[in-house]
């Protein structure tokens, strides 16, 4: 029982990271109706930037926030320079661009930093917090940070005029222009936010999986599974999906199929959801008048 509880809690910790990345995927999906395959590599690349800053002697938290800021700018830049020109292109062309972006970021990182695995520091103490026996303080901290990020995003989209404009631009670009919203910039902003959220996920997962250019491959797969479980167009669903997938992965890995086959859990979930309930468990019921 104790072991099960431990696995569930550890699953929540990694689940939070999947939730963040799944949320980044959903944000881009809502605006463009495309899944950004390079989301994981963008997170990985920015995590390396964070590593460089810390190596250069910057304390953890300033480096953390600077990295999030850089990730935001990078996201905006990628949208403006790379995605914008293919905005009107057929879906497959855009998918190819995403995959190219994935490969470019992966190999550029390998070229700059080599493929040697590096350790990434955790900002949390090595002693377990609050004397609990179940979660390391990094796991607990990662859950906390994930929840803070999710809450900030929710508040931004729900309560600020800019957040409202971004939701409007994603839903109905033409009407948005007619009320004066600069739709192109809203998309770029969305990419920036998604990249920033991704960078937090990267920095939280790096102390667990270690830093290397391929570190996000598995994480992205779980994030896909999470986004699908929640319904690819539903941010709340993606978050719940992230935690569900994290727990399932851990519990099944520990007790049922063994650690070596853990990744297949993500694939089974993806196929399962697509077969049984393609809109996910929280997918939007569209209310429209014809």
Partner 1 sequence: MRAAYGATRVLHGIDFAMEEKSITALLGANGAGKTTTLRAICGMVRTEGAIRFGGQPIAGKRTEDIVRLGIAHVPDGRGTFLHLTTEENLRLGAYVRKDRTNVARDLERVYAYFPRLKERSHQQAGTLSGGEQQMLAVSRALMLAPKLMLLDEPSFGLAPLVVRELFAILRTINTEERVSMLVVEQNAAMALDLADHACVIETGRVVLSGTAADLKKDDAVRRSYLGY
Burial 115-146 (b: 16+ CB within 10 A, else e): eeeeebebbbeeebeeeeeebbbbbbbbbebb
Q: State which residue, 117 or 182, has the beta carbon closest to partner 1.
A: 182
**Do residues 105 and 197 lie in contact, with contact meaning Cβ atoms separated by under 8 Å?**
no
Contact positions toward partner 1, by CB under 8 A? 161, 164-165, 167-168, 171-172, 174-183, 284, 286-289
Q: State which residue, 118 or 167, has the beta carbon closest to partner 1.
A: 167
Q: How far is the CB of 194 from partner 1 (least distance, A)?
A: 20
Q: State which residue, 79 or 212, has the beta carbon closest to partner 1.
A: 79
Residue 82 DSSP symbol:
I
Q: How far is the CB of 163 from partner 1 (least distance, A)?
A: 10
Q: How far is the CB of 42 from partner 1 (least distance, A)?
A: 27
Q: How far is the CB of 165 from partner 1 (least distance, A)?
A: 6
CA atoms within 13 A on the CB side of 127: 3
Nearest-angstrom CA–CA distance, 187 and 192: 9
Q: How far is the CB of 239 from partner 1 (least distance, A)?
A: 19
Q: How far is the CB of 21 from partner 1 (least distance, A)?
A: 24
Question: How far is the CA of 145 from the CAs of 34, 178, 201, 263, in angstroms?
Answer: 27, 38, 9, 25
Burial of 185 (0-12, 13-18, 19+ CB in 10 A): middle
Q: State which residue, 80 or 262, has the beta carbon closest to partner 1.
A: 80
Instruction: Compute the CA torsion angle 124, 67, 79, 142 (nearest 10 deg).
Output: 0
Nearest-angstrom CA–CA distance, 138 and 72: 24
Q: State which residue, 66 or 168, has the beta carbon closest to partner 1.
A: 168
Q: How far is the CB of 173 from partner 1 (least distance, A)?
A: 11
β-partners of residue 211 are: 118
Query: Which phi and psi (to 5°) does residue 172 adopt?
Result: -150, 80
Q: State which residue, 5 or 162, has the beta carbon closest to partner 1.
A: 162
Q: State which residue, 174 or 260, has the beta carbon closest to partner 1.
A: 174
Q: State which residue, 178 or 276, has the beta carbon closest to partner 1.
A: 178
In the numeric block, the tokens 């103490």 are attached to 125
Q: How far is the CB of 11 from partner 1 (least distance, A)?
A: 32
**Do residues 186 and 170 lie in contact, with contact meaning Cβ atoms separated by under 8 Å?**
yes
């Amino acid at each position: 029982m104790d072991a099960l509880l431990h696995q569930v809690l550890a699953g929540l910790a990694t689940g939070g990271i999947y939730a963040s990345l799944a949320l980044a995927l959903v944000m881009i999906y809502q605006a463009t109706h495309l899944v950004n395959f390079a989301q994981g590599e963008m997170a990985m690349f920015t995590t390396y930037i964070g590593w460089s800053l810390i190596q250069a002697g910057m304390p953890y938290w300033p480096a953390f926030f600077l990295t999030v800021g850089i990730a935001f700018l990078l996201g905006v830049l990628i949208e403006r320079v790379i995605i914008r020109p293919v905005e009107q292109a057929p879906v497959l062309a855009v998918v190819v661009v995403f995959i190219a972006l994935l490969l470019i970021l992966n190999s550029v990182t390998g070229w700059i930093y080599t493929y040697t695995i590096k350790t990434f520091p955790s900002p949390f103490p090595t002693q377990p917090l609050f004397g609990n026996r179940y979660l390391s303080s990094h796991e607990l901290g990662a859950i906390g940070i994930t929840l803070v990020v999710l809450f900030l995003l929710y508040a931004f989209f729900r309560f600020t005029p800019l957040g409202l404009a971004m939701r409007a631009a994603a839903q109905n670009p033409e009407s948005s222009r007619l009320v004066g919203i600069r739709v192109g910039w809203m998309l770029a902003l969305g990419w920036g936010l998604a990249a920033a959220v991704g960078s937090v996920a990267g920095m939280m997962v790096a102390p667990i999986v270690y830093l290397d250019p391929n570190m996000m491959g598995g994480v992205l797969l779980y994030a896909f599974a999470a986004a699908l479980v929640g319904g690819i167009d539903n941010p709340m669903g993606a978050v719940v999906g992230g935690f569900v997938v994290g727990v399932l992965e851990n519990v099944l890995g520990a007790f049922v199929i063994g650690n070596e086959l853990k990744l297949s859990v993500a694939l089974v979930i993806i196929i399962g959801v697509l077969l049984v309930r393609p809109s996910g468990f929280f997918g939007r019921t569209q209310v429209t008048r014809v």
